[in-house]
Each structure stands twice: as structure tokens, then as C-alpha cells.
């Protein structure tokens, strides 16, 4: 396991934690249940501050699997993840089996 790979996987889990907070804070202010969430890109670059607009339904579906993350197109990293879906202005990626997947699962904010 390369240190760089571990760091990338860890960075993405940080942004996921941020987005869980965003959802929690934004939800009570949404006018309707269909109002999209404005989350941050969950790519592995700590300096990335790109915003992504995601329908709540898509967010919930993706978040139900702890190995899945949202990134801007072009921000996916084939070394640690595969693109499994696209919502237009964002991609949904899934962690490769092994250490990237394990880190994603161990830090799942919805498990515990």
C-alpha cells in the first residue's frame, strides 16, 4: 500500500464528512424536499473547493454505500476509484477493493 494512495483515500473521507454536515444544516432550510444539495467535491485534492449540486435523492442513494463518493468531472482518480455513474455536472465514483475501500468503510459517517 502506497502512502500516497492512503492519503488520497483519507482526504476524500474528510470531504464526505463535510458534506454530511452540509446536508444536515441545509435540509431544515430547504423549501421543498426536492431542493438540491450544494455539496463540495469529494476528490482527493485538499485544495479543491469546487461545488457540486446534487439532488437529495441521488445524494442519499450514493451515500447509502460507504465506498461511493461525488467528484467533479475530471477529478476522479483511477488509481483508487472507478466512475460508476454521472449526474451531468458530477460523477459518482466507487473505491477500489482493498485499502481505499477499507478506509472508506472505516470512516463511514453513517455507521456508528
The minimum distance between CB 14 and Zn ion, in angstroms, equals: 12
The minimum distance between CB 60 and Zn ion, in angstroms, equals: 21
Residues forming a β-bridge with 83: 93
Nearer to Zn ion, 30 or 84 (CB): 84
Mapped onto helix, strand or coil, the DSSP state of residue 40 is strand
Interacting residues with Zn ion (CB under 5 A): 41, 43, 48, 50, 72, 75
The minimum distance between CB 34 and Zn ion, in angstroms, equals: 25
Residue ranges of E strands in 1-112: 37-40, 51-54, 68-71, 81-86, 91-95
Nearer to Zn ion, 63 or 75 (CB): 75
Nearer to Zn ion, 43 or 104 (CB): 43
Find the Cα–Cα–Cα–Cα dihedral 17, 101, 99, 44, rounded to 10°. -50
Amino acid at each position: 500500500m502506497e502512502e500516497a494512495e492512503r492519503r488520497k483515500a483519507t482526504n476524500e473521507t474528510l470531504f464526505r464528512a463535510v458534506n454530511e454536515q452540509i446536508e444536515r444544516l441545509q435540509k431544515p432550510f430547504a423549501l421543498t424536499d426536492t431542493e438540491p444539495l450544494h455539496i463540495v467535491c469529494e476528490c482527493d485534492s485538499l485544495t479543491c473547493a469546487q461545488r457540486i449540486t446534487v439532488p437529495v435523492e441521488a445524494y442519499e442513494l450514493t451515500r447509502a454505500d460507504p465506498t461511493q463518493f461525488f467528484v467533479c468531472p475530471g477529478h476522479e482518480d483511477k488509481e483508487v476509484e472507478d466512475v460508476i455513474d454521472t449526474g451531468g455536472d458530477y460523477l459518482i465514483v466507487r473505491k477500489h477493493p482493498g485499502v481505499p475501500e477499507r478506509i472508506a468503510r472505516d470512516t463511514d459517517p453513517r455507521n456508528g
